[in-house]
Amino acid sequence: MKYVRHIRGKWRVRIKVPDELVPIIGKTALSESDLQPDPRSREPRPPRISVPRPR
């Protein structure tokens, strides 16, 4: 995870935008700093499916 870094107790993500997309997006990099502190909670999870149990 070279784009994810632990800085001052918080996890941050910063991804460089390709030069061809800078005019469209208007930014040279995309960043996010409100990540969960637990590494497992940052990984995508499958949706939970609740199935009623037969009685």
- Read off the pLDDT of residues 11-34 as tens digits, 9 standing for 90 and up: 788 889 899 999 998 989 888 777
Structure tokens at 42: 């940052």
What is the CA 20 to chain-centroid distance, rounded?
Answer: 23
Could you tell me which residue, 43 or 50, shows the higher pLDDT?
Answer: 50
9 class by beta-carbon count within 10 Å (0-12 exposed, 13-18 middle, 19+ buried): exposed
Residues 6+ apart with CB under 8 A from 14: 3, 5, 29, 30, 31
Confidence check: pLDDT of 42 > 70: no
The CA-based diameter of the chain, rounded to the nearest angstrom, is 60
